[in-house]
Amino acid sequence: METVGVAGLGTMGAGIAEVFARAGLAVVGVETDEAALRRGRAHLENSTGRAVSRGRLSPEEQQAILGRVTLATDRAAFAEADLVVEAVPELMELKLPLFADLDRVCKPSAILATNTSSLPVTEIALATDRPSRVVGMHFFNPAPVMQLVEVVGTARSTVTGEVADLARRVGKRPVVVGDRPGFVVNRLLLGYLNHACLLLDQGVASKEAIDTAMVVQAGLPMGPFALLDLIGLDTAYEICGVLHRDSGDPRHEPSRTLRNLVERGRLGRKTGGGFYDGKPGTEEGFDAMVLLRPYLVDAIEMFRSGYASQDDIDEAMKLGCGYRSGPFETVAALRTRSLDDFPELEE
């Protein structure tokens, strides 16, 4: 694969274009109109410019990277691409016609990939006449920095291995998984984050006590409410809704507190406040196992169902969430302490 197309040069698409161009591939970026194309180019220039000012890229390298990216408003520019990654907004009504069109303009051997976080890849693949060559390629934000890529295969995909190889070639750590809402990271992470919100709904503990316990006792880089403020409460709310429709698990049903904050426009750091307005305070009085244990059991169930290997789940949670250890490494550490606390592990 030498030429990669990227459809949509917003937050994710511009970052994905940068990943491929940095690795020496030719990139064709397509946007809806000239104004969007200028914004996409600015994203690329600013991101690589920051790397230059931090001494991570030379000005010559930056120019070489930008020189590998061709920009267009006409999808016909994808004609020679070996792979096209779609990164347009998370709406089926945008993605389905786009994939039908990509199928028409791209050469038959081209692989078509979607960066969707929550939509069914299978349905997107069926908008084309080449479902065996359609996969999910789920990058994390910011794409040039985050190493993890979830490569999502449907029952018809035959190219996940090729796409995983390409991800490795451009310096990423791929995890190949099946087409299930949330894949590995969002499924485990959002289940845990929403559970924390449900505990707030029930008045079990304060947000400060829960956050403090998850940092101090569980060793996470930040507690669930601080993390929700970072991710964006609207994004979390939507993903929980998708997970709940799929799983029916009460822990995925978007919490009242989360919904109220979203309705009030308190979406987290991007709106200046969500659960917190500033730095969270600390408080004692919550036992981290209350939240940690269901999260670990979810990971065990994900592995048992054959969805992903223990190593892949651990790597995905470390690279996708910045955790120091993955769930199975945490379980192994707990095993050495007390199995009595963890009857699920006896099976």
The residues of the shown chain that bind ligand NAD, judged by CB under 6 A, are 7-13, 30-32, 36, 87-90, 94, 98, 115-117, 140-141
Nearest residue (CB) to ligand NAD, 141 versus 282: 141
The set of long-range contacts for 3-6, using a CB threshold of 8 Å and a minimum separation of 24, is 3/27, 3/28, 3/80, 3/81, 3/82, 4/28, 4/81, 4/82, 4/83, 4/84, 4/85, 5/29, 5/30, 5/77, 5/78, 5/81, 5/83, 5/84, 5/85, 5/106, 6/30, 6/84, 6/85, 6/87
Residues with catalytic function: 117, 138, 150, 186
Residue 317 CB, nearest approach to ligand NAD (Å): 16
C-alpha to C-alpha distance for 283 and 290, rounded to whole angstroms? 16
Residue nearest to ligand NAD (CB): 10
Residue 58 CB, nearest approach to ligand NAD (Å): 28
Residue 166 CB, nearest approach to ligand NAD (Å): 18
Nearest residue (CB) to ligand NAD, 121 versus 296: 121
Nearest residue (CB) to ligand NAD, 191 versus 291: 191
Residue 142 CB, nearest approach to ligand NAD (Å): 8
Nearest residue (CB) to ligand NAD, 143 versus 209: 143
Backbone angles phi, psi at 266, to 5 degrees: -90, 90
Which residues are CB-contacts of 171 (< 8 A; sequence separation ≥ 6)? 19, 22, 23, 147
- Residue pair 148/172 in contact by the 8 Å Cβ criterion: yes
Residue 138 CB, nearest approach to ligand NAD (Å): 6
- Note the Cα 249 to chain centre separation in Å: 21
Which residues are CB-contacts of 126 (< 8 A; sequence separation ≥ 6)? none
Nearest residue (CB) to ligand NAD, 96 versus 345: 96
* 3-state secondary structure (DSSP) of residue 90: coil
Which residues are CB-contacts of 338 (< 8 A; sequence separation ≥ 6)? none
| Cis geometry, peptide bond prior to residue 343 (ω within 30 degrees of 0) | no
Nearest residue (CB) to ligand NAD, 92 versus 339: 92
Nearest residue (CB) to ligand NAD, 117 versus 160: 117
Q: Terminal CA-to-CA distance of the chain, rounded, Å?
A: 45
Which residues are CB-contacts of 199 (< 8 A; sequence separation ≥ 6)? 205, 210, 290, 291
Residue 150 CB, nearest approach to ligand NAD (Å): 9
Residue 200 CB, nearest approach to ligand NAD (Å): 24
H helices of 202-255, in order, are 207-216, 224-231, 233-247
Question: Could you tell me which residues are beta bridge partners of residue 7?
Answer: 30, 86
Beta strand pairing status for 148-153 and 134-139? antiparallel
